[in-house]
Structure 1
């Protein structure tokens, strides 16, 4: 997985071939075919692992917040750290690009995002038990999309005022 993720980050999906991953990992291409059932299985496994690397830390941070203001503070911190990590941002973009091109990779990412939104919705339920399930689900979608969008916008425009965007969201809570 490490070899595949490294190739994906450095050169995109076209570099993630059975032979390329085997060479990077120092193993036999036949073992990769045997273990993953061919290139589509390898791609799905790499997409799953890459998605966990990108989505997992963000969700973990959000789930640790005690309220909306703390969550926004964590988002500000995460985006500052994540956007500064060009490797993580490139990996996120490659996972999304692959998901847009390949239906199997798209299903992997969709499932990971569904799980993330579900976990965020559950956390919102603990913070706001008075909110109906539909509102929690809607806010979970909004939060997930906002974080993804800010990451992608930052990749295109490193001067993006992420802190100002989060401060504006804090203002909306007032």
Structure 2
């Protein structure tokens, strides 16, 4: 793993563990096993590093959801699979922190918006394959529901796929 990759990995871990605002250059460098000056050698600033790490993790997660959808035989199976994948606590705090950071930073907001738009486009194409009416709007509502579930799980870890899928399935009808 390169130094840059170690820094990005350390950043995603620390954002999830401590929160965006509690990640310092010193703590990040220590986690990555490098000197603090190395952080600024590889990245223009600590906020730029945190943004790249968080948006990259979000992009990877969305890509994984597309793979999950591609293997689903029905819309219900797709909902089950996506929400089951989101039942895992991995990344929960990171995504919550990233969404919160996006409310305060235009660059992060734009990058997160691109990732979410990409997810909605893929979801709409997948829904169209099942003749779901108005797949673009349906995808927008389902994506917003998934985003909301991620945020709400920070407050209510009991909010699981088992309780949510039947409700969202009604949206697909």
CA drift of 1:53 comes to 4.5
Provide the alpha-carbon RMSD of the alignment: 2.3
CA distance in 1, matches of 2:111, 2:120: 14
Write the mapping of 1:92-171 to structure 2, written as runs, cut at 5 A: 92-128=95-131, 135-160=134-159, 162-171=161-170
Q: Distance in 2 between matches of 1:146 and 1:45?
A: 25
- Taking a change above 3 Å as real, the CA distance of residues 45 and 69 of structure 1, as seen in their structure-2 partners, is same
The match for 1:71 is 78
SS for the counterpart of 1:159 is coil
Q: How many residues align?
A: 166
* TM-score normalised over the length of structure 2: 0.81
Provide the C-alpha distance between the structure 1 equivalents of 2:56 and 2:43, rounded to a whole number of angstroms: 13
SS at match of 1:150: helix
- 1:3 deviates by 0.7
How far did residue 162 of structure 1 move? Answer: 4.0
Distance 1:167 1:102 in 2: 35
Match 2:33 to one of 26, 37, 54: 26
CA distance in structure 1 between the aligned counterparts of 2:164 and 2:14, rounded to whole angstroms? 33
The structure that is helix-richer by fraction is 1
Please report how far the alpha carbon of residue 169 of structure 1 lies from its aligned counterpart in structure 2 after TM superposition: 3.2
Q: Is the 8 A contact 1:54 1:91 kept in 2?
A: no
User: Which is further off, 24-33 or 69-78?
Assistant: 69-78
